């Protein structure tokens, strides 16, 4: 299988996802927008993974490539690719399908509880997961659900945490891919955001809960294994 990753910043890396791809011996390519990389042809990959980043989907003036990226994501969905979006990636999926993306009432940064919806019980990806997850969050924006989306998860601070479309397009607002090194990189780059707010944890509090990384990685690996079956 050929997997292509869209990466918006060096400090928002694919984390445990890369280890999974290497272990499976799949072909991995990437577009690093911060290095001005070009997008691949639509027939050059089978699975698209869209990572996070501090920009908003509406920041086309600052990041002109966002416009072509959204069109590329839309084409990938139309061409029946497997698509996984994480944080900004989930927002880009929503935007590419015509849904609104906008600042959430609260920023959500740190280890937060996410509850699965009743709809998740019937979904092959989420049916084996616990009803409540404690996952790593880092976002200020949220999105409306696109047409045809099944709502899978929600939190106290942000209702739309995950959705799936046609069982092939999965959007996650949270970061289960995070590793110890990528967590530290995110904390260093986004230190100015760690203010005393209702759903924002300071760096010390976040690092004190890094024992949650393995359980988050287990969630991500479970989802990757199940998405992989769509290809065979």
Annotated catalytic sites, by residue? 87, 175, 177
Beta bridge partners of 74: none
User: Cα(201)–Cα(175) distance, rounded to whole angstroms?
Assistant: 15
**Chain length of the chain:** 232
Distance of CA 82 to the CA centre of its chain: 14
Half-sphere exposure at residue 64, Cβ-oriented, CA atoms within 13 angstroms: 3
For the record, the structure tokens of 62 come out as 């600052």
Minimal CA–CA distance to 85: which of 223, 230, 229, 226? 223
Contact 20, 64 (CB under 8 A): no
Instruction: Tell me the H-state helices in 82-202.
Output: 88-96, 180-189
């Amino acid at each position: 299988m050929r997997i292509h990753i869209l990466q918006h910043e060096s400090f928002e890396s694919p984390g445990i996802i890369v280890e999974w791809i290497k272990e499976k011996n799949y072909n991995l390519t990437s577009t690093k927008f911060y290095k001005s990389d070009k997008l691949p042809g639509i027939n050059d990959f089978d699975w698209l993974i869209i990572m996070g980043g501090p920009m908003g989907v509406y920041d086309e003036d600052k990041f002109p490539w966002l416009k072509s990226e959204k069109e590329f994501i839309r084409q990938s969905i139309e061409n029946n690719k497997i698509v996984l979006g994480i944080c900004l990636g989930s927002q880009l999926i929503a935007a590419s399908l015509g849904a609104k993306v906008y600042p959430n009432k609260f920023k959500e940064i740190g280890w937060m509880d996410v509850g699965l919806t009743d709809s998740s019980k019937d979904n092959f990806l989420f049916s084996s997961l616990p009803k409540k997850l404690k996952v790593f969050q880092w976002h200020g924006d949220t999105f409306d659900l696109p047409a045809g989306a099944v709502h899978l998860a929600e939190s106290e601070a942000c209702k739309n945490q995950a959705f799936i479309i046609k069982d092939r397009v999965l959007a996650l607002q949270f970061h289960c891919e995070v590793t110890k090194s990528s967590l530290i990189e995110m904390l260093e780059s986004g230190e100015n955001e760690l203010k005393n707010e209702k759903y924002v944890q300071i760096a010390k509090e976040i690092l004190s809960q890094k024992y949650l990384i393995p359980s988050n990685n287990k969630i991500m690996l479970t989802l990757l294994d199940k998405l992989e079956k769509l290809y065979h």
